[in-house]
Chain A
Amino acid sequence: MKRNGLVFIALCVAIIGMVVSGKYLNRVRSRNHNAVIGDVRGKLAPDFELTSLDGKRVKLSDYRGKAVLLNFWATWCSPCKVEMPWFVDLQKKYGNDGLVVLGVAMDDSDSSKIAQFASEMGVNYPVLLGTDKISEEYGNVEFLPTSFYIDREGRFVGKGVGLLARREIEGNVQKALASRVVGISGPEEPPVGQAAGRQTTAQ
């Protein structure tokens, strides 16, 4: 009878162990593309070097001292289209305060189609051609749109997966702008000539 009790307890422990470890492993496997706002906060954003639509090489570190809204999108992503005019407005509204919006196009199609689309959308910020490498480095970006909000020191202040409300996006932008960089007297100028349709027009 005592032995039966021990077997029963051992079975319970084994079931709990299997289920919890399965859940944990599943979470670890998908953590990178599961992350919701807050999971990445405070971490240093991985530097990257991508090609812009006009052929320039662009690094995230080029924008140290600026707040960066890094938006992963694609031409086939309808929700992404909704955000783009908001980003255009935000770039105009906060450009002088040090905001830089960077679009990362995750299309497989050629860059001329992406450029045409960006131009039609009135995009006034640099559009970069996404790669598998940047997707992996930013946690396997599978869900589009996905945006990262990076402060002036290059640290994440937030992440948004899927279409967010404009006020949430603007709130994250304001958080990114609120940071100050120690040892840098003022925001650096962004590299010129990287805008998709036209140059950044923030006034």
Chain B
Amino acid sequence: MMRLRFLIAFAAALLSWASAQEPGTVVPSIEFAPVGKVQIKPGGSKSVPLDFRIAKEFHVNSNKPHSELLIPTALNIPAAQMFKAGIPVGVASLQYPVGEDVSFPFAPGEKLSVYSGDFSITAVVKASPKATAGEYPVSGELRFQACDRSACYPPKSIPVKFTVSVSGK
């Protein structure tokens, strides 16, 4: 029993050492929180919050950065999944949160509009009155470009998926 405890403690200490990040090695990431099934009736609409979490120490530009050179965070939904005539279920609009104006040590005199920590984009989903009952997958990509306090990282995209379930009339 004593040996087992020692073994567990030893393994835990080793794992802790192994998982410690070296400076400058952490790659920025954004996690997309899974969305439960979105229930909607034919002809109806629903606001679907899409929640994202930015890795600690990083920030991304908001959807409306203060400079056109900066790459905005944007959820790109294929045209075929945007709601319009002939599409049974689609995304009618996207609402982005307002960015936080922050000064960073690399440019103390400048304020950048950024997201950090958790942020949420609202997708307004609509179903056509003629939509038949069933499940409709919606998929897109969140494009972002992250920086920390001293370096920036190339633009990246992560997949964003959820399912809209249209119930019978």
Contact = CB atoms under 8 A, between A and B. Distances in A.
Nearest to B150: A162
A4 B148 CA distance: 50
Nearest to B154: A142
A82 B69 CA distance: 15
Contact of B24 (A12, A145, A161): A161
B134 to A, nearest CB: 39
B27 interface: yes
Contacts of A108: 155
Interface stretch (A45-53, A56-64, A70-78, A183-191): A70-78
Contact of B107 (A19, A81, A161): A81
A145 B106 CA distance: 12
Interface residues of A, number: 34
A149 B169 CA distance: 69
Nearest to A145: B151
Given A11-B7, A143-B24, A79 B150 contact: yes
Interface stretch (B10-18, B44-52, B117-125): B10-18
B69 A143 contact: no
A179 to B, nearest CB: 26
Interface of B: 3, 7, 10-11, 14-15, 17-18, 22-25, 27, 69-71, 104, 106-107, 110, 112, 145, 147-148, 150-155
19 contacts: A12-B7, A15-B11, A15-B14, A19-B14, A20-B18, A30-B25, A34-B22, A76-B69, A76-B70, A76-B71, A78-B152, A79-B107, A79-B150, A79-B151, A79-B152, A108-B155, A144-B154, A161-B24, A162-B150
A79 B22 CA distance: 21
A20 B145 CA distance: 33
Contacts of B22: 27, 34
A64 to B, nearest CB: 30
A195 B43 CA distance: 60
Contacts of A11: 7
A117 to B, nearest CB: 7
A12 B14 CA distance: 11
Contacts, number: 81
Contacts of B106: 78-79, 82, 163
Contacts of B150: 79, 162-163
Nearest to A144: B152
Contacts of B145: 76
A106 interface: yes
B122 to A, nearest CB: 26
A80 B27 CA distance: 18
Residue in B10, B110, B154 with the greatest tally of chain A CB atoms within 10 Å: B154
Contact of A8 (B3, B11, B69, B148): B3
Contacts of A36: 23-24
A171 interface: no
A143 B7 contact: no
Given A15-B14, A36-B24, A117 B69 contact: yes
A161 B25 CA distance: 10
